[in-house]
Structure 1
Amino acid sequence: MKFTRKAAAQWKGTGKEGKGHISTDSKVMVDVPYSFGTRFEGEEKGTNPEELLGAAHAGCYTMQLSFLLNEDGFTATHLHTDAKVLFEDGEITTINLTLTGEVPEISADKFKEIANKAKEVCPVSKLFKAKVNLDATLK
C-alpha cells in the first residue's frame, strides 16, 4: 500500500511575535492557529507541532496495536493511548506512551508483548530518534 497525505502551515512575522495557521487536506484542521505562545507557553488557544506529533503517534500506535492483536486472534474492546512529547533544549527527547486496554481472553504478559511489538513497528514510532517509552496496562 502506498499513499500520500498532506498538511500545510503558514506563518507571518517573527518567531516570537508572529502567528500562523495549520491546515490538513482532510479539512479536519482548517486554519488552526499556532504561535510562540501555543508552542512554548501553553497560554493561547491553538495547537503546536509537539501536540500534533503526540496525536499522530497515539493514533498510529493504537491502530497498529489493534492490527497486531487481530493477527494473534484477539480483538480489543477498548484501547486508549496517551502520548506525552517532551521538548527540551531545542529538541524532542522523549515520548511517553501510556496505554490502557481491555482485551478479552489475553494474558497480561501476552498483552505487553504485543504492545511492545506495536511500539517497535508503528510507522510513526520509527520516525523519531527520541526515546519512545511505553507503559501498558491490561484491565
Structure 2
Amino acid sequence: MALTSEATTIWKGTLFEGSGDVTLDSSGLATFPVNWKARSEGVANMTNPEEMLAAAHSSCFSMALSLALAQAGHPAESIQTTAAVTFEAGKGVLGSHLLVSARVPGITEEEFEAFADGAKQNCPISQALAIPITIEAELA
C-alpha cells in the first residue's frame, strides 16, 4: 500500500523580503517558519528547504541502513546520521553528504562500509533526488 505524505507552505511577499510557514500536514506535528535569509545566510530560528531535505535524507538513510543490517543478521544498537545538504543561490542543491556513526556488534569496518554504501543507494530519499516531478497549478 502506498502512503502519501503532505506538507503545505504558505508564502507571503517577495522572495527576498517575504516569508512563509511550512506545515507538516500528514502528521500535524509542526509548523516551521521559512524565509530567504534562512536559506542564503543561515539565519537562526528559521528553517529552509535544504534543512528539511537533510532531515528527510538522514532519517531515511538511517532506516534503510537499519533494515539492511537487521536482514543480514546484524541488528544495529544505534545509528546516528547527519545529512549535510549544500545549496548555492543560482546553482541550487549541490549535494548531500551523509556522516554516519553506528554501533553494530559483530561486523568489521569494511562490512559496515559496504552496508552503508548499499543503504545510500537504496534509501528512497537518495533515489527520489532524481524522480520526475508532476504539478497541478491554478490561479486563485
TM bracket, shorter-chain basis: 0.7 to 0.9
Off by >4 Å, runs of 4+ in structure 1? none
Using the size of structure 2 for normalisation, the TM-score is: 0.87
Q: What does 1:1-139 correspond to in 2, within 5 Å?
A: 1-25=1-25, 26-30=27-31, 32-88=32-88, 89-129=90-130
Structure 1: any 5+ residue segments left out of the alignment?
A: 130-139
After superposition, the C-alpha distances for 1:52-107 in whole angstroms (9 at most, x for unaligned) are 00000000000010000011001111100010011123311111100001100111
Q: For residue 39 of structure 1, give the secondary structure of its aligned residue in structure 2.
A: helix
Distance 2:44 2:67 in 1: 37
Cα pair 1:37 1:44 within 8 Å, conserved: no
Count of residue pairs brought into register by the alignment: 128
Structure 2: any 5+ residue segments left out of the alignment?
A: 131-140
Tell me which residue corresponds to 1:134. Answer: none
Using the size of structure 1 for normalisation, the TM-score is: 0.88
Quote the offset at 1:113 in angstroms: 0.7
Q: CA RMSD in A?
A: 1.1
Q: Sequence identity, in percent?
A: 38
Distance 2:16 2:93 in 1: 19
Higher strand share: 1
Q: For residue 100 of structure 1, give the secondary structure of its aligned residue in structure 2.
A: strand
Distance 1:27 1:77 in 2: 30
Q: For residue 16 of structure 1, give the secondary structure of its aligned residue in structure 2.
A: coil
